Structure 1
Amino acid sequence: MTTSTPAQPTRRLPVMYFCFLISVLVCWGFYISTLTDISVLTSRWAAALTMVFGSFIAGSSPEGSAAISYPVFTLLLKIPPPIARNFSFAIQSIGMTSASLLILGLRVRVDWNYIRYVTLGGVFGLVLGTYYIVPLISPVAAKLFFVSLWLSFGITLWRENQKATRRVVDTIDSFGRPDQIRLALFGLVGGVISSIFGTGINIFTFCLVTIYYRLNEKVATPSSVIIMTIETLLGFFLHAGVLGDFSQESFELWLACIPVVVFFAPLGAFVITKLPRQLIARLLYGILFVQFIGAILVIRPSAPQLLLCALTLGAGLGLFAYIARLRRTATG
């Protein structure tokens, strides 16, 4: 009897990513060559430096780059929130697309049911939030609310991962109509969140699939990157093509950061494929904690705003602890 040697896996070359990379750099380089004054780039060095970290985190975690750029731009660089939000959509259309094409090219495992139904709800949520919610929201209060909520999720996920018996799955099995509705509804709310900050649907729905569905963080993270890519392309189109409020300042910031994010976002997506699940989870805990502390230090909230943080943190811990205790049935 002869035994055949198992075939070695073929090397996966992310052709789509390289084509996109070359196209972006050629178009960017051609446009820059037409400018008589490139101070528009050098004067935005702080934004480009911010996006080195922001785009890497966007590719390697369920946090979009706006989770870094939005607070830095609005609170440190004193850029108006609408400009920072529109920039976030624009720059993520490059960085997140790059990361997603690398994920698809390398055939990184994702959950397509998660992506499909969250995106469906997210489209409606983004449009709803853009037209009807954003004009009513105080950016500072909203930022404190959401960093507090994300911190409560990080604490809950950390507690869950301390359990030696915690079981994770690589796909949402026995996927039925209740799951479709649940993911679409979370996508709807996440889309509204993204309409305010330029990111949010990815981390909000990541909370659900990792806590309730016990989806492996190693699968949920690249899935959330693809979700945010679709959402950000729609957001960019809404503001630049429909509403027409994509300002010159947003454009200059975008132009300065394109050559940064086209490399660092996919680099983050590549690094995440090499890390074990527990290390990915620890990375996320750290990001959420630093994000919360950074917001507190920069915003310096008043007593009522601190109370909002405390109430949100407490309510979030209760909500996510309840979700974690639920036991999903085979029918959802």
Structure 2
Amino acid sequence: MSADKTKKNKIPFLYIIFLIVVLSCWSFYVISTNSFFVFAKHWAAILTMIFGSFIAGSSPEGSAAVAYPVFTLLLKIEPAVARNFAFAIQSIGMTSASLLILGLKIKVDWNYIKYVTIGGAFGLIFGTYYIVPLISPPLAKLFFVSLWLSFGLVLWYENRHPHREVFDKIQNFIKSDIARLLFFGLIGGMISSIFGTGINIFTFCLMTIYYRIDEKVAVPSSVIIMTFETILGFFVHGAIIADFQQEAFEMWIACVPFVAFFAPLGSFVISKLPRQTIATFLYIILIIQFFGAIWVLKPSLPHLGLCLITLLAGLGTFAFLARLKRKM
């Protein structure tokens, strides 16, 4: 017992080193450029990200799921600025959370992570160049929050059965599973190209509904997937397209020290909770996200119709996945 406990409680050195490097570089920049004004100027962004980064580390929702609607709808920040900020800030928070997950040896499914990440990279790049210019962000937001709510309802229904069988990895992994994960990763990457998040919750739906993966495994796995996706998105917008705005940069500087702590805190807390508690936490997030979007956007009757159609279609799709007998 003592040997196992010592190993499990071993200090995650990669996380500590990352934290020291990030905070040292951040401190040097803020002090040398006298950028302390960003804290007063972007206090609303800081407050949003304290909550959002904890959500990102403790659920399959990236912090952008909180930041994007708050920034674009409440704070009237341009969607492109909110998206670029989301990629930048998650590159700190999600990396920090992932290193803590790896350091604490929290159980993840590496087949899920590997193939979804590959598909997601192609989806993100394709979406950035060919989908983002065509999308109306408010309309797309209504579509996706409706879809996620339908997933939450189906997952809740499935978890009502006290003896529902769940697994800690994909059982009898075969070639068709590779194709399926690549495809879902591709679509998830396209979603992330719009909002700065999405691949994590989209593929989480597949893992928990179809593959019946334990939420305690699927959540940290989705955090690692979003880490790779967000670093790629930050690189694409910061170094290749070079459309990273000054406002996004200032908000990033203001929020870095907060997300570096609160995202891994979320991962640590969620690792200590039972599966049903994690699932309940997810239901609450999805419900708040949906009704929050409805309250802020105040959609027209046709847009409400789109929400209803999406909700019904999602319920049908996820219920079908839940009932589908996977061939081993």
Q: What is the TM-score normalised by the length of structure 1? A: 0.97
Aligned to 1:177: 175
Aligned to 1:209: 207
Give the aligned length. Answer: 326
Bigger mean CA deviation after superposition, 28-37 or 5-14: 5-14
Residue type matched to 2:5 in 1? Answer: P
2:313 to 315, 318, 322: 315
Aligned to 2:107: 109
Task: Work out whether 1:66 is the aligned partner of 2:98.
Answer: no
Partner Cα distance (1:7, 1:188) in 2: 42
Q: What is the TM-score normalised by the length of structure 2? A: 0.98
Partner Cα distance (1:199, 1:96) in 2: 11
Task: Work out whether 1:9 is the aligned partner of 2:5.
Answer: yes
- Deviation string, structure 1 residues 214-248 (Cα, Å, up to 9, x no partner): 00000000000000000000000000000000010
Partner Cα distance (1:155, 1:132) in 2: 32
Matches within 5 A, 1:120-159: 120-159=118-157
Structure 1 or 2, whichever has the larger Rg, is: 1
Is contact 1:87-1:254 (8 Å) kept?
A: yes
Matches within 5 A, 1:9-48: 9-10=5-6, 11-36=9-34, 38-48=36-46
Q: Structure 1: which 4+ aligned runs deviate by more than 4 Å?
A: 5-8
Is contact 1:91-1:261 (8 Å) kept?
A: yes
Q: 1:260 to 1:7 in 2, by over 3 A?
A: closer
Aligned to 1:328: 326
Partner Cα distance (1:240, 1:35) in 2: 20
Partner Cα distance (2:79, 2:35) in 1: 27
Residue type matched to 2:225 in 1? Answer: I
- Deviation string, structure 1 residues 160-211 (Cα, Å, up to 9, x no partner): 0001331000111210100000010000000000000000000000000100
Aligned to 1:164: 162
For residue 259 of structure 1, report the CA deviation from its aligned partner.
0.7
Residue type matched to 1:88 in 2? Answer: A
Is contact 1:41-1:252 (8 Å) kept?
A: no
Bigger mean CA deviation after superposition, 26-35 or 200-209: 26-35
Matches within 5 A, 1:83-98: 83-98=81-96
Is contact 1:57-1:265 (8 Å) kept?
A: yes
Partner Cα distance (2:268, 2:113) in 1: 19
Gaps of 5+ in 1: none
* SS of residue in 2 equivalent to 1:164: coil
Aligned to 2:117: 119
For residue 7 of structure 1, report the CA deviation from its aligned partner.
4.2
- Deviation string, structure 1 residues 15-58 (Cα, Å, up to 9, x no partner): 00000011111111110111245222211000000001000000
* SS of residue in 1 equivalent to 2:85: helix
Is contact 1:129-1:193 (8 Å) kept?
A: yes
What is the aligned-residue identity percentage? 67
* SS of residue in 2 equivalent to 1:13: coil
Q: RMSD of the TM alignment (CA)?
A: 1.0
* SS of residue in 2 equivalent to 1:9: helix
For residue 6 of structure 1, report the CA deviation from its aligned partner.
7.4
Bigger mean CA deviation after superposition, 39-48 or 113-122: 39-48
Q: 1:319 to 1:253 in 2, by over 3 A?
A: same
Matches within 5 A, 1:241-320: 241-320=239-318
Residue type matched to 1:174 in 2? Answer: N
Gaps of 5+ in 2: none
Partner Cα distance (1:82, 1:182) in 2: 30
